[in-house]
């Protein structure tokens, strides 16, 4: 069965960086794109960007350009999302989500989420 297992919660100070991992299993890793979506407390989800699990190409939401980097390791079927220059409003649950193989922008499987707390 398809599983996306994320790394554990993080507490960071403003200005620091965080790197969250997402390990995929139960399907051919390189056949599907993966996205990162975050959700601040009490808010709707917010799309951050996408990574091509095969070639490694990325596309980021303009809001996060210059602060976010998404990478992948095909040997371990893992994708990573690093966010730098953290601010208090980056406090959120960060999810990886697999894109449906047939149609872009549909998220058919999600990780369990990683809470990132930014606080001084």
Partner 1 sequence: DIQMTQSPSSLSASVGDRVTLTCRAGHPITTHLNWYQQKPGKAPNLLIYAASSLQSGVPSRFSGSGSGTHFTLIISSLQPEDSATYYCQQSYNTPYTFGQGTKVEI
> Closest Cα partner for 22 from 50, 63, 43?
50
User: Judged by CB under 8 A, does residue 66 bind partner 1?
Assistant: no
User: Judged by CB under 8 A, does residue 106 bind partner 1?
Assistant: yes
User: Judged by CB under 8 A, does residue 120 bind partner 1?
Assistant: no
User: Judged by CB under 8 A, does residue 9 bind partner 1?
Assistant: no
Which residues within the stretch 31-50 sit at the binding site for partner 1 (CB under 8 A)? 35, 43-47, 50
Measured CA to CA, the distance from residue 118 to residue 120 in angstroms comes to 7
Q: Cβ closer to partner 1: 14 or 55?
A: 55
Stretch that binds partner 1, among 13-21, 22-30, 58-66, 76-84 (CB under 8 A): 58-66
Centroid of chain to Cα 75: 18
> What DSSP designation does 52 have?
E
Residue whose entry in the numeric block shows the structure tokens 């980097």: 69
Measured CA to CA, the distance from residue 51 to residue 59 in angstroms comes to 7
Binding site for partner 1 (CB under 8 A): 35, 43-47, 50, 59, 61-63, 95, 97, 100, 103-108, 110-113
């Amino acid at each position: 069965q398809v599983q996306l297992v994320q790394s554990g919660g993080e507490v960071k100070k403003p200005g620091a960086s965080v790197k969250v991992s997402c390990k995929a299993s139960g399907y051919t890793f390189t056949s599907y794109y993966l996205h990162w979506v975050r959700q601040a407390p009490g808010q709707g989800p917010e799309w951050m960007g996408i990574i091509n699990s095969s070639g490694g190409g990325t596309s980021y939401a303009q809001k996060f350009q210059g602060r976010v980097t998404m990478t992948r390791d095909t040997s371990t079927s893992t994708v990573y999302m690093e966010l730098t220059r953290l601010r208090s409003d980056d406090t959120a649950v960060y999810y990886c989500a697999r894109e449906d193989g047939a149609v872009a922008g549909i998220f058919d499987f999600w990780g369990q989420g990683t809470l990132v707390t930014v606080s001084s």
